[in-house]
Amino acid sequence: MRIIGGKYRGRTLVPFKGEDVRPTADRTKEALFNILAPEISGANMLDLFCGSGSVGLEAISRGADLVVFNDASRDSLAILEKNLALIREKESAKIYNLDYRALLQRLDITFDIIFLDPPYKSDAGEDALRLIAERKLLNTGGIAVLESDRPFEGEIPQLVKYDERRYGIARLTFFTPD
């Protein structure tokens, strides 16, 4: 696991040991950031279900002003802390150890980019998108990206699905406020 682009390009990140975390593959992450490239610089980003934080760290490397990281696992956040220390960018990050619903209910800032990578077999991604839309946490023109292992079939009031791409087992589905 490494940072692919930006000022920390090539930096190897501390990996998560075990089967509990499924980091976004480098190939998928590279494709995601090629798509998001014009939106990253100066952005506020939410990395929900962040795991070891590789997607949010990539955003920091590419110029995001702030990344809010959240994961319910303290073990994942311990790895994230080590990775933030490697790039010395703690001032660009806020870290929360909450259930995703609790975090989304308490946030008082809005985001240009929201990345959601929940456990693949759960419905947490769709539920989180509904809360994001209800609370208007995504700025006008902002982008929410859901990583999943299956096509997105539902509809989210106040969000428009505008693209979906497949990278191996991973699917990235893109939404914007309507």
Has residue 162 been placed in a domain?
Answer: yes
Q: What pLDDT, on a 0 to 100 scale, did the predictor assign at position 57?
A: 95
Has residue 172 been placed in a domain?
Answer: yes
As a whole-number percent, the residues of the chain with pLDDT over 90 amount to 75
CATH number, position 43: 3.40.50.150
Q: How far apart, in whole angstroms, are the C-alpha atoms of residue 19 and residue 157?
A: 34
Q: What pLDDT, on a 0 to 100 scale, did the predictor assign at position 21?
A: 58
Q: Specify the higher pLDDT residue, 90 or 119.
A: 119
Has residue 94 been placed in a domain?
Answer: yes
Structure pTM?
0.94
pLDDT tier at 14, thresholds 50, 70, 90: confident
**Residue 132 burial (CB count, 10 A):** 26
120 within 8 A of 22, measured Cβ to Cβ: yes
Q: In the predicted model, is pLDDT for residue 107 greater than 90?
A: yes
Has residue 5 been placed in a domain?
Answer: no
Q: What pLDDT, on a 0 to 100 scale, did the predictor assign at position 23?
A: 65
Mean pLDDT of the chain: 92
Query: What are the beta bridge partners of residue 45?
Result: 67, 113
Has residue 88 been placed in a domain?
Answer: yes
Q: What pLDDT, on a 0 to 100 scale, did the predictor assign at position 22?
A: 58
Q: What pLDDT, on a 0 to 100 scale, did the predictor assign at position 77?
A: 93
Q: How many domains does the chain have?
A: 1
Q: What pLDDT, on a 0 to 100 scale, did the predictor assign at position 121?
A: 85
Residue 55 structural domain: 26-177
pLDDT digits (tens, 9 = 90+) for 117-167: 998 888 999 999 999 999 999 999 999 999 999 999 989 999 999 999 999
pLDDT tier at 58, thresholds 50, 70, 90: very high
Has residue 161 been placed in a domain?
Answer: yes
Has residue 10 been placed in a domain?
Answer: no
The length of the chain, given as a count of residues? 178
Q: Specify the higher pLDDT residue, 27 or 159.
A: 159
Has residue 13 been placed in a domain?
Answer: no
Q: What pLDDT, on a 0 to 100 scale, did the predictor assign at position 7?
A: 92
Q: In the predicted model, is pLDDT for residue 19 greater than 60?
A: no
The angle subtended at Cα 65 by Cα 1 and Cα 149, nearest 5°, is 40
